[in-house]
Amino acid sequence: MNYRNNIKTSFLAIPENESLARVVCAAFLSQLDPTVEELTDVKTAVSEAVTNSIVHGYTGRKDGIVFMDCYIDGDTFTVDIKDNGTGIEDIEKAMEPMFTSCPEAERSGMGFTVMETFMDSVAVNSVSGVGTKVSMTKRIRNRCL
């Protein structure tokens, strides 16, 4: 039977919590004894998704909440990052490399590209005016409990 575990977290959508999100994911993922590269991949992808919620989802609002749920099922790690922000009108366009809706804020538009490069799968669900959920998975090679 596969080993399973999960945690559910929520935190204020402020930049100070971006590093917190990375640390929480890394700590949870460490159960699978990832390599340094696998750990960095997940931390970076999580950082991108959380930053998207803060910068784009809540567009500078100080009272938004980011919900981050992490799951382990056997050797696969899954993280869902959700917000109740503005949502994405055109997901396909938003995921184009270098596209950003905030060029004045010096956003590189690489967030989704990084997520798709570093994780095995990235699924985005969003409704304008309601919120966005980014779900990412990564199989930790030859690791299982």
In one-letter notation, the amino acid at residue 3 is Y
Q: Which stretch binds other proteins (CB under 8 A): 70-78, 84-92, 111-119, 129-137?
A: 111-119
Q: For residue 51, what are the CA distances in angstroms to 6, 34, 62, 79, 98? A: 22, 24, 13, 15, 16
Distance of CA 2 to the CA centre of its chain: 24
Q: Could you say which residues in the range 80-99 bind other proteins, by CB under 8 A?
A: none
Residue 110 is a binding residue for other proteins (CB under 8 A): yes
3-state secondary structure of 71: strand
Closest to 139 in 3D by CA, of 15, 51, 41: 41
**CA–CA separation, 15 and 71 (whole Å):** 24
Contact 39, 28 (CB under 8 A): no
Instruction: Fill in the per-residue mask, 16 to 55: x = in contact with other proteins (CB under 8 A), - = not in contact.
Output: x-xx--x--------------x--x--xx--xx--x--xx
Catalytic residue check, 107: yes
Q: How many residues bind other proteins (CB under 8 A)?
A: 23
Catalytic residue check, 52: yes
Residue from 3, 15, 60, 128 binding other proteins (CB under 8 A): 15
Which are the catalytic amino acids? 48, 52, 107
Which residues of this chain interact with other proteins, rule CB under 8 A?
Answer: 15-16, 18-19, 22, 37, 40, 43-44, 47-48, 51, 54-55, 105-108, 110-111, 113-114, 117
